Amino acid sequence: MTACPKLLTPDICVIGAGSAGLTVAAAAAQFGVPVVLVEKGEMGGECLNTGCVPSKALIAAAAVRQTGRRGPAFGIEATEPAVDYAGVHRHIHEVIAKIAPHDSVERFEGLGVTVLRDHARFRDARTLEVGDTLVRPRRFVIATGSTAAVPPVEGLETVPYLTNETVFGLTELPGHLLVVGGGPVGVELAQAYRRLGSEVTVIETGSILSRDDPELVEVAREALSADGVRLLENTTLAEVGGSAGAIETVVEMASGRRTIAGTHILVATGRAPTVEGLDLDKAGIAYSAKGISVNRGLRTTNRRAYAIGDCVGGLQFTHVAGYHASLAIRSILFRLPVKVDTTRLPRVTYLDPELGQIGLTEAQAREIHGDRVRVLSAPFSGNDRARAERRTEGLVKIVTGPRGRILGVGMVGAGAGELLAGWSLALSAGVKISTVASHVAPYPTLSEVNKAAAIGYFSESLTNPWLRRILGVLRRLG
């Protein structure tokens, strides 16, 4: 006789224990709401295990080695430290291990969350099947994340290619790393491996970092080239062959076909939302290869189900996942109306120098607002702290609209990711450029470059004839 499956009826069932899902589960549990959390893979998802955390640990290791090369400019003898890549691998995984307890089953069960470690699939619009357990909650939150997107290139499946999901398992430094894709992940890893001693070639069908402001990207491009990264832009990967340690690629360029050999190949051509295997059709949830379909409030075509984070496509960043999670919690627990606002969501590429953007780029703003757009900028070369640290490459660009409204900010330079945080607050609070121009920044800090750019908003006043007449009258009054 077949045993009846166990039935759970929580308020919320979260599918996926990555950044988005864990945020919802933790918040709901701390409010005393019954939650079931389902995860078939590793707790912490892509960010902890194969994304943000290991990549930034690798970048940090590369930065330490790079510091030794900058010595002569400061009167210090240059050094070229030897790289123990097994030690770099150990550093990366020690960092993951230190963070992992925060995302662990034990922590969430301690919060009162019921954690199911198995594959999830919908049985119908109200019921989820997880192994031998059925879950019938008041609301579903789908947070299944994304996986590495692999392009259909002839021969690629015949070689041991890497993605961000496998590259951090390497215990030996690649001799010559071929990076397919010039987006944020591709260029970050390209620079890091080059600084650690690998030869690196980036193959990109268009321009690197094509979503960002071309003026800012040019600074990043020069930095990559100065590090010795070989950039093949406007180049298509046509064929791949060879074997482990001896990869051969055929690329198509304007000048014709060429063969480029390397020891390893890393595919960094973006992320694909994880939607397969959930039987979403049975739940009445619409989806496509671009992700699960949601409205502005992150609800799917099934009124009981929300979808958040990478699985909905669009901006695929950990902080965006957290933002989505906060909206879902407000809607489910407090019945508040919510709406995704992408204008306040920053993005940063962690190159050296870092490149960040929030809001509209200059091109996007001009397309919408035309000649009402004003662009204010300031170079890092005019900042005293940047001069003292000999990190003067880069600039800040502020895009403003009518009446001093801040439409967007882009920057490339040392610490750009940290400097962008203040602009995120400014856009969220609707702060005008005049307020930024009037604030007092500590001296000497890199943050003064933000104020230097903002002050440019008043440059037209310097030659305004009416203002000069008023000043003339005031001078005569003594």
* Inside any domain, residue 63: no
Q: Are residues 161 and 244 in the same domain?
A: yes
Count: domains in the chain: 3
* Inside any domain, residue 458: yes
* Inside any domain, residue 12: yes
Q: Are residues 21 and 144 in the same domain?
A: yes
- Read off the CATH number of the domain in which 425 is found: 3.30.390.30
Q: Residue ranges for the binding site?
A: 56, 144-146, 181-188, 204, 270, 310
Q: Residue ranges for the binding site for FAD?
A: 56, 144-146, 310
pTM here is: 0.94
Q: Are residues 335 and 418 in the same domain?
A: no
Q: Are residues 216 and 122 in the same domain?
A: no
- Structural domain span for residue 192: 156-269
- Among 20, 392, 422, 362, CA closest to 214: 362
Q: Residue ranges for the binding site for NAD(+)?
A: 181-188, 204, 270
Q: Are residues 121 and 251 in the same domain?
A: no
Q: What is the dihedral of CA 260, 262, 267, 269, to 10 degrees?
A: -30
**How do the pLDDT tens digits run along the chain, 478 residues long?**
456 689 999 999 999 999 999 999 999 999 999 999 999 999 999 999 999 999 999 999 999 999 999 999 999 999 889 999 999 999 999 999 999 999 999 999 999 999 999 999 999 999 999 999 999 999 999 999 999 999 999 999 999 999 999 999 999 999 999 999 999 999 999 999 999 999 999 999 999 999 999 999 999 999 999 999 999 999 999 999 999 999 999 999 999 999 999 999 999 999 999 999 999 999 999 999 999 999 999 999 999 999 999 999 999 999 999 999 999 999 999 999 999 999 889 999 999 999 999 999 999 999 999 999 999 999 999 999 999 999 999 999 999 999 999 999 999 999 999 999 999 999 999 999 999 999 999 999 999 999 999 999 987 655 667 666 776 777 778 6
Give the span between the Cα atoms of 285 and 186, in whole angstroms.
33
Asked which of 210, 238, 269 is the last residue of a domain, the reply is: 269
* Inside any domain, residue 50: no
